[in-house]
Every structure is written in structure tokens, then in C-alpha cells.
Amino acid sequence: MQPLMNHLWPDGKLLGIEWSVWKMLGWAGNATFFSRFLVQWYVTEKRKQVVVPQAFWWLSLFGSLTLVCYSLHQRDSVFIFAYAFTPIPYLRNLIIHRRYKDAHQDCAGCGRKIAPQANFCPACGVQVPKPD
Ligand SMILES: [Zn+2]
């Protein structure tokens, strides 16, 4: 047990890292950003098709914003540039996702949500009225 503790806690520091509030923020950003891959992979495996769920974009947005804050604190230009502009496509994808969701309509036959491009309800087969 002691050799393991020596690796996990060398010199009295967890994982040998000099911990501070900023370091914890940076690692929280890393964990948030990394977790998006696990979420995307899980949903893709579950549905047996490649899916990018809305949670992926939220985790990307919060992870990258946290990492931008950390990189600004570190004054590391390479790190700042790597994350400074990534929130733009994440926000744009969230907006497009919201608009697509709002464009769904309720089926007159069964009340389920129908995709905007659908001509018939996939659940009950009722024809979807198209707005002019
Ligand atoms: Zn229906």
C-alpha cells in the first residue's frame, strides 16, 4: 500500500501537482471538456449510430470557457488561442439545435413531436400539415 501512496502522493502533493484554486479550475475544465467524449460515445453506442447529443455541446462550451479562464490566468498565448474561439461553434450548434427542436410540431393524431421535414407522423401515420 505504501508504494502506491508514494506514487499517488509524492512529496506530500496529490499526483505530485502543486495544487491551487486556479489549478483545480484548470483540471475541472479539463475534466468537463474530456467528459464530452464519454457522453458522445455512450449515446452513440446506445443508439447504434453516430450521434452528437446536445450535452456534448454544453460540455464543450463550459469546458472550453473554463480552460480559456485558466489559460488567461496562466498568460500562455498558445493555450489561450487553442480555446479562445472554440465557444463560437459550440454556441452556434446549441442555437441550431434549439431552433430545430422548436420547429417540431405536435401530431394531430397522437400528440407526439414530429420532425420539421416529416410528411407523416412516424408513430400513427397522420399526414403532417405543411405551413405555407
Ligand atoms: Zn401521430
Does any domain span residue 32? yes
Please state the domain count of the chain. 1
**pLDDT mean over 42-62:** 97
Does any domain span residue 41? yes
Convert the pLDDT of each residue in 54-97 to its tens digit: 999 999 999 999 999 999 999 999 999 999 999 999 999 999 99
Output the CA 43–ligand 1 centroid distance in Å: 25
CB atoms within 10 A of CB 60: 24
pLDDT at 80: 95
Does any domain span residue 60? yes
72 lies in which domain range?
A: 2-85
Does any domain span residue 7? yes
Output the CA 84–ligand 1 centroid distance in Å: 44
Does any domain span residue 68? yes
Report the chain's terminal Cα–Cα distance, integer Å: 72
pLDDT at 4: 83
pLDDT at 124: 95
- Grid cell in block for residue 94: 446549441
Does any domain span residue 107? no
- Quote the distance between the C-alpha of residue 67 and its chain's center: 14
Output the CA 28–ligand 1 centroid distance in Å: 44
Does any domain span residue 46? yes
Whether the model clears a pTM of 0.85, i.e. scores above it, the answer is: no
Report helix, strand or coil for 30: helix
Does any domain span residue 129? no
Output the CA 110–ligand 1 centroid distance in Å: 4
